[in-house]
Amino acid sequence: MSKSQIILVAAGTGGHINAAKSLGHVFKENGFDILYFTGRRKLDKRLFQGEPTIFLKSESLRNRSVFNKVISIFNNVAAFFTSLSIMSNNRPKGVIGAGGYICGPVLMAAFFLGIPIYIIEQNSVMGLTNKLLAFFANKIFINFEYTKGMGSFKNKLSLVGNPINRDIRLHNFKYKDDSTIKILVVGGSLGALEINNFFKHFLEVNDREGISIRHQTGIGKEIVTSSDTVKYCQLDYIDNMFEEYDWADLIVCRAGASTLSELRFVQKPVVLIPYQYATDDHQTINAKLFQQESKFSVYIYSGKELEENNFKNFNKVIDNNVIDKKIDRIDYSKYESTEKIIYKECCNDF
């Protein structure tokens, strides 16, 4: 028999959604009914396909015209009242926000009903939605020990890491004995235009042999090019990320918190390209903190280098013995998972 219902809220990026789904799996294993709330983007619908999900429209109020702000306010208010109606009938034990604008109206509706709310702050800089929700949250789960914007909420903080795809957590990643240098390029779940352009030009001018690239470009973002020397495969989206991590010798990616959390388990050389226009430049801070904590090779490649098509530095990374197969790998299986820690801490409040 079910203990009760837990609502998990996430939208906008694969990192937010996969964190919510991974956490939902642990609650479900322990007898809870799970209901997800998300947005209406294509990615939201794709990743929550087959799950018990409520789709709502919610948008940011930042950097919008007056007209668009009015529309956004209307959508957020509508999402609030829809959430209020659903939770009034279901009375969940708790509501957990894993990221995305949708967390604002849904978690505030839960607070209004006296339902415990929890937020997961994945990044090193607290986002605007979480800054507002933090005043009402029972607990805030953080990924980085240094998290900017948390000073006023120290009594609510719990340093637990970040929930990740369970296939990645449970997989034993290994290096392959192969002369080919295998490079996995990931621009985030939506792709990254500047990374796509960089590798388009790289393929056009590169004359190196013995390189194989698998490149996740984002849905509908094609790279029309070819190379006589590099084996290149374009992917619009990656469903089984752990298989791609296992294949790779070198990983090129953004510095979003969820990606870095996965890379902690993968423990392979990585080139981080922080998104230079991220709010409060939090991806650069993420990257520097990750570089400090990692025992494997972590390179940080600036947006300027990317814009200037600095292939010289990138080739140095490839040549500079980056495929470090003799690192003292951390056995994360010895540690309790983030998902289980969050589950236990939430249950203590129910």
Strand order in the sheet with 33-38: 53-55, 33-38, 5-9, 94-97, 117-121, 139-142, 157-159
Q: How many CA atoms lie within 13 A of 326 on its CB side?
A: 1
Which residue in this structure is represented by tokens 């949708």?
Answer: 102
- How far separated are the first and last CA of the chain, in Å rounded? 17
Question: What structural domains and CATH numbers belong to the chain?
Answer: 5-167+335-349 (3.40.50.2000), 176-324 (3.40.50.2000)
pLDDT value, residue 310: 72
Which residue in this structure is represented by tokens 């947005």?
Answer: 39
Poorest-confidence range of 64-78, 210-224, 317-331?
317-331
Model confidence at 201, pLDDT cuts 50, 70, 90, reads: confident
**222: pLDDT strictly greater than 90:** no
pLDDT value, residue 1: 40
Residue type, 177: D
Distance from C-alpha of 287 to C-alpha of 270, rounded to nearest angstrom = 11
pLDDT value, residue 102: 95
Poorest-confidence range of 40-54, 103-117, 214-228?
214-228
pLDDT value, residue 165: 82
Average pLDDT over residues 52-77: 84
pLDDT value, residue 318: 81
User: What digits encode the pLDDT tens for the residues 290-310?
Assistant: 999 888 889 998 877 776 767
pLDDT value, residue 212: 92
Residue 318 vs residue 80, higher pLDDT: 80
Which residue in this structure is represented by tokens 């690239």?
Answer: 213
Say what the pTM is.
0.85
Inter-CA distances, 152 with 156, 172, 209, Å: 9, 39, 54
According to the per-residue pLDDT averaged within each range, which of 67-76, 87-96, 162-171 is highest? 87-96
Average pLDDT over residues 146-174: 86
Average pLDDT over residues 313-334: 72
pLDDT value, residue 126: 86
Distance from C-alpha of 283 to C-alpha of 255, rounded to nearest angstrom = 5
The rounded mean pLDDT for the chain is 87
Residue type, 346: C
Model confidence at 321, pLDDT cuts 50, 70, 90, reads: low
